[in-house]
């Protein structure tokens, strides 16, 4: 079989395993229902999605996919739930194609592409749930690959596109800036040299290159936000910058689930109901990410950029307590690019947690009728056990990545 046919096969399988649930799970539920409410608001009430309370906590790009899907649904009679998920399918296909291209260049072959194509977390989050993190992850991967190829401006713009779709890639901007090799000296392939050998003049060039990279990554998003900030700064601050997450997963979600199993009472998941713990969670996460960045800056750990991004995302999963289902997808592209036993275990327990979460809290995401494959007590137990297992697996995986970073730093010292 030729290389082109092998790529066509993996893309066809990617499309098939996602298109089936997209067509079968075409129900207005959970986030798809919120997408529809935002679309109706934008088409019928106001162009500003942030004026609709508690519906749109994202940067202002995805809203036009929502509005466009509703416009098409009104004019064609097609299902909104299907239309709004099709761009997510395209994003998954783009990720598979990118992993295939990168695997061909690095000797990994199509293994990363196949692992992502068949990954149950991707299928559950993208095709069943309908969350669109895959679109941001495609541009994030594109930024990583472009950076490692020495195309810094292209990398920064790809990172800007990722941030414009979802806020979480902004966490990785300092990681890009602190990764040795890509940002010092003239435009070209990254060097493995550290900055310790640079002259003061070269260090200034490195600082200037970092400032350029940061500006290219951030300014497009800032410009996108300007109209909304001028129209209603309070709404923008409340809906986008004030969003604290949903305590379905993470350590707060685990505590919420344990309380359910102990008392039989399910507390609401929104951040205001866990304000004290969410504040502590934010502080813990900032400290953890700062410690990781300090270790990178002091050269106590050394990673290739993809592994550095994985470490930062894993730290977020471990220390931030109020996580939604789609957050578990963030590490999947990096896990399949750098596959090991930790990535495999994380994928298994994440699937457990997601199936339990959906079956217990939003069964219509997975099942067409009122009856689910799991009874509510069993679904609740699977959700809680899976959430705890994800925490342990994330922490163990982070520990392994940190150990590898330390070992590489010692080897290059």
Which contiguous run of DSSP H or E holds residue 138? helix 133-148
d(CA 49, CA 39): 8
Residue 198 reports pLDDT greater than 90: no
d(CA 361, CA 117): 26
User: What 3-state DSSP class applies to 255?
Assistant: helix
Residue 199 reports pLDDT greater than 60: no
Of the candidate ranges 130-134, 221-225, 409-413, the one whose mean pLDDT is the lowest: 409-413
d(CA 194, CA 372): 55
Q: pLDDT class for 60, splitting at 50, 70, 90?
A: very high
Q: pLDDT class for 92, splitting at 50, 70, 90?
A: very high
Where is pLDDT greater, at 197 or 81?
81
Residues with Cβ within 8 Å of 216's Cβ and at least 6 positions away in sequence, in order, are 153, 156, 157, 160
Q: What is the pLDDT averaged over residues 346-358?
A: 98
Question: What pLDDT, on the 0 to 100 scale, is given for residue 370?
Answer: 65
Q: Please, what's the largest Cα pairwise distance for the chain?
A: 68
- Is there a contact between 271 and 243 (Cβ–Cβ < 8 Å)? yes
CA distances 68 to 78, 108, 139, Å, are: 12, 38, 21
User: What 3-state DSSP class applies to 324?
Assistant: coil
Q: pLDDT class for 165, splitting at 50, 70, 90?
A: very high
Percent of the chain with pLDDT over 70: 93
Which residue in this structure is represented by tokens 């209603």?
232
d(CA 305, CA 181): 10
Question: What pLDDT, on the 0 to 100 scale, is given for residue 372?
Answer: 67
Enter the tokens of residue 328.
């578990």
- Is there a contact between 179 and 213 (Cβ–Cβ < 8 Å)? no
CA distances 49 to 83, 105, 303, Å, are: 19, 42, 39
Q: What is the mean pLDDT of the chain?
A: 92
Residue 255 reports pLDDT greater than 90: yes
d(CA 363, CA 140): 31
Residues with Cβ within 8 Å of 149's Cβ and at least 6 positions away in sequence, in order, are 189, 190
d(CA 136, CA 161): 7
Enter the tokens of residue 377.
């007590």
CA 317 to chain centre: 11
What pTM was computed for the model? Answer: 0.93
CA distances 93 to 119, 126, 138, Å, are: 13, 12, 9
Residue 206 reports pLDDT greater than 90: no
Residues with Cβ within 8 Å of 109's Cβ and at least 6 positions away in sequence, in order, are 103
The region that residue 174 occupies, defined by phi over 0 for left and psi between -120 and 50 for alpha, beta otherwise, is: alpha
- Tens of pLDDT, residue by residue over 273-286, are 898 999 999 999 99
DSSP track, 151-182: -HHHHHHHHHHHHHH-SGGGGGHHHHHHSTTS
Which residue in this structure is represented by tokens 């502590």?
280
Q: What is the pLDDT averaged over residues 216-224?
A: 97
């Amino acid at each position: 079989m030729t290389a082109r046919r092998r790529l066509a096969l993996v893309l066809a399988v990617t499309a098939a395993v996602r298109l089936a649930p997209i067509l079968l799970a075409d129900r207005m539920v959970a986030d798809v229902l919120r997408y529809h409410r935002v679309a109706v608001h934008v088409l019928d009430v106001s162009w500003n999605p942030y004026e609709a309370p508690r519906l749109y906590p994202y940067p202002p790009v995805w809203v036009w996919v929502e509005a466009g899907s509703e416009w098409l649904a009104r004019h064609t009679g097609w299902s909104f739930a299907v239309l709004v998920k099709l761009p997510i399918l395209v994003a998954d296909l783009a990720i598979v194609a990118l992993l295939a291209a990168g695997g061909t260049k690095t000797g990994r072959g199509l293994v990363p592409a196949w692992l992502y194509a068949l990954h149950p977390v991707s299928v559950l989050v993208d095709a069943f749930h309908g969350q669109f993190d895959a679109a941001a992850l495609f541009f994030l991967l594109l930024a990583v690959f472009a950076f490692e190829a020495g195309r810094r401006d292209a990398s920064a713009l790809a990172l800007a596109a990722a941030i414009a779709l979802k806020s979480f890639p902004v966490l990785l901007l300092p990681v890009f800036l602190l990764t040795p090799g890509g940002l010092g000296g003239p435009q070209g392939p990254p060097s493995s040299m550290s900055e310790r050998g640079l002259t003061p003049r070269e260090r200034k060039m490195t600082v200037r290159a970092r400032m350029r990279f940061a500006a290219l990554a951030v300014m497009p998003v800032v410009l996108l936000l300007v109209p909304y900030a001028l129209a209603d700064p309070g709404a923008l601050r409340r809906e986008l910058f004030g969003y604290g997450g949903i305590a379905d997963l993470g350590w707060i979600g685990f505590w919420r689930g344990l309380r359910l199993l102990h008392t039989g009472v399910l507390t609401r998941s929104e951040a205001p109901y866990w304000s004290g713990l969410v504040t502590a969670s934010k502080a813990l996460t900032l400290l953890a990410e700062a410690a990781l960045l300090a270790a990178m800056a002091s050269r106590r750990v050394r990673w290739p950029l993809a592994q550095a991004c994985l470490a930062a995302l894993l730290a977020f999963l471990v220390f931030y307590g109020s996580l939604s289902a789609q957050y578990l997808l963030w590490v999947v592209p990096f896990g399949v690019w750098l596959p090991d036993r930790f990535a495999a275990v994380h994928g298994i327990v994440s699937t457990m947690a997601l199936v339990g979460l959906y079956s217990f809290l939003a069964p219509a995401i997975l099942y067409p009728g009122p009856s689910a494959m799991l009874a509510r007590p069993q679904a609740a137990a699977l959700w809680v056990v899976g959430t705890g297992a994800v925490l342990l697996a994330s922490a163990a995986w982070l520990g392994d990545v940190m150990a590898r970073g330390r070992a590489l730093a010692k080897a290059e010292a």
